[in-house]
Amino acid sequence: MFDQSPYTCRVEWGRRGAREAAERGDIIIIVDVLSFSSTVVSALNFDAVIYPYPPNLDGKEYAQTINAEYILGRAEAAKAGKPTLSPVSFNDEHTNKKYVLTSLNGAFCTWIASKVPALLIGSLLNASSAAAVANQLRLQKNASITVIPCGEMWSNGKEEEDTLRPAIEDYLGAGAILSYLEGEKSPEAEVCKGAFYHAEPKLNELIWDCGSGRELREKGFGADVKHCSQLNTYQTVPFLRNNHFVRFNQ
């Protein structure tokens, strides 16, 4: 059986990894660099209130029940001048306003793993701060830490195929966080950390030209890619509480 249980710090991919970590009762750090995690971190930096919600459920109806605004797709929201899954769409105008944010990867993984001792959102933007909070919580709760790079989903997959597409931006974001985590790391976590160390000198270049980065740039969202590639720009660490994210106060 696949198992990283002897180690304090682990790395698991996607929804299945999120479920496994939640069932173990681990502290979980969700990493979806392009761009759920980066968007949540950026939004909370401006004190927006974000409710994550899976895309297979009716997010618009949920938003109405909690008196929040449902975040539209990038192109649709950009035309309306509203905040989107694009992290650069948030600013001071959105302070203390409530939003429901769905995504196929980060929001879904958050939803699956919500019943844990602590769930944090990590990205390149807040890697060192997210790790510092996780280190603190690990001692308080006597729990292991699992970092979840969410990956992407293959489109038009056949019935017999796995739909998870590993994404290097999430792997490097997870590696950045692991590089700051204390405690013994699994071999999988060590390799992930090593990938980040190798990539760090050209991090912006790699994410700019990776498959996910090119996909966003071709749709006109190059500013998102540049923003999400920044390392340790924010100290904001989103912490899931009562179905929405709050800033973790150390």
Identify the pLDDT of residue 161.
Answer: 85
Reply yes or no on whether the pLDDT at 158 is more than 90: no
Percentage of the chain surpassing pLDDT 70?
98
pLDDT band at 156 (very low <50, low <70, confident <90, very high): confident
Average pLDDT value for residue range 126-132: 98
Strands 98-102 and 69-70: parallel
Identify the pLDDT of residue 129.
Answer: 98
In the block, tokens 């973790």 appear at 248
Average pLDDT value for residue range 99-104: 94
Identify the pLDDT of residue 250.
Answer: 59
CATH topology of domain 9-247: putative 2-phosphosulfolactate phosphatase (3.90.1560)
Cis peptide leading into residue 114 (ω within 30°): no
pLDDT band at 1 (very low <50, low <70, confident <90, very high): low
E strands within 109-190? 119-122, 145-149, 152-153, 164-165
Identify the pLDDT of residue 29.
Answer: 98
What's the pLDDT tens digit per position in 51-92? Answer: 999 999 999 999 999 999 999 777 777 776 788 899 999 999
**Alpha carbons 62 and 71: distance in angstroms, whole number:** 12
**Cα–chain-centroid distance for residue 1?**
27
| Token reading at 103 | 């995504």
Identify the pLDDT of residue 94.
Answer: 95
Query: Which of 1-10, 60-69, 101-110 shows the lowest per-residue confidence on average (mean pLDDT)?
Result: 1-10
Query: Which of 13-17, 98-102, 246-250 shows the lowest per-residue confidence on average (mean pLDDT)?
Result: 246-250
The residue ranges of every structural domain in the chain are 9-247
Identify the pLDDT of residue 62.
Answer: 97
